[in-house]
Structure 1
Amino acid sequence: MSNELLDALTILEKEKGISKEVIIEAIEAALISAYKRNFNQAQNVRVDLNRDTGTMRVFARKDVVDEVYDPRLEVSVEEAQSVNPSFQVNDVMEMEVTPKDFGRIAAQTAKQVVTQRVREAERGVIYSEFVDREEDIMTGIVQRIDSKFIYVSLGKIEALLPVSEQMPNEKYKPHDRIKVFITKVEKTTKGPQIFVSRTHPGLLKRLFEIEVPEIYDGTVEIKSVAREAGDRSKISVYSENSEVDPVGSCVGPKGQRVQAIVNELKGEKIDIVNWSNDPVEFVANALSPSKVLDVNVNEEEKATTVVVPDYQLSLAIGKRGQNARLAAKLTNWKIDIKSESDAVQMGIYPRAGANVPLEDSEDDEPLFSFSDDELDK
């Protein structure tokens, strides 16, 4: 062993950020095992790597005792004092036992340790980089596909896109570029493992943050997201600035901003509604594009009864109940929808003295709902 090893460790410390002392300590520990394994020695030994010359020496460590029972681990006080008169019982005596061909074994062992430490350090760097990106969005390239996962290259590592996190309306092929949402970063014995999603509501939120500057700078806030991936989504938005239209900001000029997101999600319909801390207004907005006549709120059960015109009942409920289901997820309120005629018959509409500001005139501008097909018209 020579200065070449120390020079290599110095370079590694600069380029990989791996402490030189940590590697040297690891090499010394590995050489102890290598010595015992290759020379059939069970004694207590210490390996010393000279930090200046790079040379390595092996020292046997023996306890100084009155009576020797195991000569591999013990030495008599008389023998110890013949080497150095200052030795006393219970002291530890060291003797050099470096084998002649130990250099070859040392070089091989050092190489293995350095390789292992470099690999661990690189894994640690990758883990540190990606653990901070949990709940963030990245663009990856599809590498390969099997029955359980799609393997997506994120540069330094392949992420796993499980079947359950894949959009049902998408077909993936190798070399496709896709945006994914990082859901979980795990540290395993084989290195960091990253799980990503195309169906997570967070993906939709991050896409809006990318496309809408007002969201990115905090002028407009996304309050909640409800998503049935590949089919339809709803988001509620709000701005403290009364001069800023949060829905219009998300739509963009001629729908350009929301269209970019719809395209990325392969035609998934997106409803953008105004958030309100008033459940009456918020629930009515969430049922867009349906017209709402009245919202009766039960605070204790966190439930609402919504009255809609007879001809809009099916629109309010949506195909297979989707519109009502997404509205309930978006608002976190239970929603029971009644037609106007049923509500009148049940005596719950119109309510005496109720403020009913929800009935739109023919000239009212509807809340925004976009799909890829609609934007092409």
Structure 2
Amino acid sequence: MNEEFIGALKELVRDKGISEDLIFTTIDDALVVAYKKNYSNPGSPAQNVRVTMNRETGEFHVFAQKDVVETAYDHINEIGIDEAKGLNPKYQIGDVAEIEVTPKNFGRVAAQLAKQVVVQRIKEAERTIIYNEYVEKEYDIITGTVARKDKGNVFVDLGKIEGIITPSEQMSTDEYNFNEKYKLYIVEVKNGSKGAQVVVSRTHPGLVKRLFELEVPEIFDGVVEIKSIAREAGSRTKISVYSNEENIDPMGACVGPKGVRVQNVVNELKNEKIDIIKWSKIPEEFIANSLSPAKVISVEVHEEEKSAKVVVEDNQLSLAIGKEGQNVRLAAKLTGWKIDIKSQSQVE
């Protein structure tokens, strides 16, 4: 162990953003274990020792720690007061005397162990740093590059770490070709035995919300609020929006000039249809809006059952229900109300 190693160690500590004290303390602790394992007499009581490494030169010193007593009976852990004063006149009964017991070849053993400890500690610290960095991004959006596919999972390069898109988080309209870039929603960051595991999604409703935040400054600034999202990924999404400011049109803000804002979101989601709905605190109004693009004649709500009966014109019935019931299903999910749709002729 030499000054060159210490210099390299300190530089590494700076580059990795790891605490220097943590590294040196860990080395000292590991060296105590190494000394006891290699130099203690088998079967004898455990000796208290302190091992230090000079932070400038890299030299090692081992000190046996013994309690200063009137008369020593346990010569491994005790030292008589007379003998102690011979080492240092200041020692009193009850003090802990330190006697250097550094073995001749301890430097070689210590240097090898110190390097192992440093490598291990740096790996652990890097894992912690990466985990902390990505756990702060949980429920946020990130760009990932497709790295590989394995057993139905898609692995994406997120920069410092690989993320996983499980089959349930994959959109059927995505191809996930090698090197293809995707905007992804971070669903969960787990701290596993091998470091951080980042689960990302293309199907989560949160992805739509974050994409609109990127495209619509009014949402990012809090002027327009996304109240709820109902999504069938790859097919259709309904999003309800609201603004407290009367002079702001929340739907218009989301659509953008010539529809450019919503179109950017649609393009990112591989042509997933997006209905932007105006939210209302009046249930009848909100439910009627949620069935867009169908036009509604009337809505009758039953608060206790959280259900609504909706009447539409005959030619609007199939549009209100949607293909395979998708439109009414998403409307119910968006509003939180059970919706029963009838045509005008059915009611009559």
What's the TM-score once normalised by structure 1's chain length? 0.83
Question: 1:268-283 to 2 correspondence within 5 Å?
Answer: 268-283=272-287
Secondary structure at 2:296 match in 1: coil
In the aligned structure 2, how far is the partner of 1:262 from the partner of 1:52? 60
Deviation at 1:59, TM superposition (A): 1.2
Does the alignment pair 1:312 with 2:316? yes
Does the alignment pair 1:255 with 2:253? no
2:290 to 267, 277, 286: 286
Deviation at 1:82, TM superposition (A): 5.4
Does the alignment pair 1:96 with 2:100? yes
Deviation at 1:193, TM superposition (A): 1.4
Deviation at 1:331, TM superposition (A): 1.0
Deviation at 1:53, TM superposition (A): 3.6
Q: Which moved more, 1:317-326 or 1:47-56?
A: 47-56
In the aligned structure 2, how far is the partner of 1:254 from the partner of 1:106? 70
Deviation at 1:52, TM superposition (A): 4.5
Alpha-carbon displacement from aligned partner over 1:110-137 (angstroms, at most 9, x marks no partner): 2222222222222222222211111111
Percent of residue pairs bearing the same amino acid type: 59
2:118 matched residue in structure 1: 114
Secondary structure at 1:100 match in 2: coil
Structure 2 residue identity aligned to 1:298: H
In the aligned structure 1, how far is the partner of 2:214 from the partner of 2:86? 79
1:96–1:318 distance in 2 versus 1, CA, 3 Å = same
2:133 matched residue in structure 1: 129
1:340 matched residue in structure 2: 344
Deviation at 1:338, TM superposition (A): 1.8
In the aligned structure 2, how far is the partner of 1:52 from the partner of 1:209? 52
Structure 2 residue identity aligned to 1:2: N
Secondary structure at 1:194 match in 2: strand
Deviation at 1:292, TM superposition (A): 0.7
**Given that residues 40 and 47 in structure 2 are in contact (C-alpha distance below 8 angstroms), is that contact kept between their aligned partners in structure 1?**
no
1:24 matched residue in structure 2: 24
Deviation at 1:295, TM superposition (A): 0.5
In the aligned structure 2, how far is the partner of 1:20 from the partner of 1:5? 14
Alpha-carbon displacement from aligned partner over 1:298-343 (angstroms, at most 9, x marks no partner): 2222221111122322221222221111101111122121221232
Does the alignment pair 1:199 with 2:203? yes
Structure 2 residue identity aligned to 1:68: Y
Alpha-carbon displacement from aligned partner over 1:222-278 (angstroms, at most 9, x marks no partner): 111100111111001122333332222222233222222222111211111111111
Deviation at 1:81, TM superposition (A): 5.6
Structure 2 residue identity aligned to 1:293: I
1:347 matched residue in structure 2: none
Q: Which moved more, 1:193-202 or 1:49-58?
A: 49-58
1:161 to 162, 165, 178: 165
In the aligned structure 2, how far is the partner of 1:85 from the partner of 1:205? 74
In the aligned structure 1, how far is the partner of 2:255 from the partner of 2:316? 25
1:68 matched residue in structure 2: 73
Alpha-carbon displacement from aligned partner over 1:30-64 (angstroms, at most 9, x marks no partner): 11112223335542211022344432101122345
In the aligned structure 2, how far is the partner of 1:87 from the partner of 1:148? 71
Question: 1:106-255 to 2 correspondence within 5 Å?
Answer: 106-255=110-259
1:327 matched residue in structure 2: 331
Deviation at 1:27, TM superposition (A): 0.8
In the aligned structure 1, how far is the partner of 2:178 from the partner of 2:40? 53
Structure 2 residue identity aligned to 1:39: Y
Deviation at 1:17, TM superposition (A): 2.5
Secondary structure at 1:293 match in 2: strand
What's the TM-score once normalised by structure 2's chain length? 0.90
In the aligned structure 2, how far is the partner of 1:296 from the partner of 1:43? 84
Does the alignment pair 1:33 with 2:37? no
1:302 matched residue in structure 2: 306
In the aligned structure 1, how far is the partner of 2:325 from the partner of 2:264? 27
Deviation at 1:102, TM superposition (A): 1.4
Secondary structure at 1:26 match in 2: helix
Does the alignment pair 1:11 with 2:14? no
Please tell me the root mean square deviation across aligned C-alpha atoms, in Å.
2.2
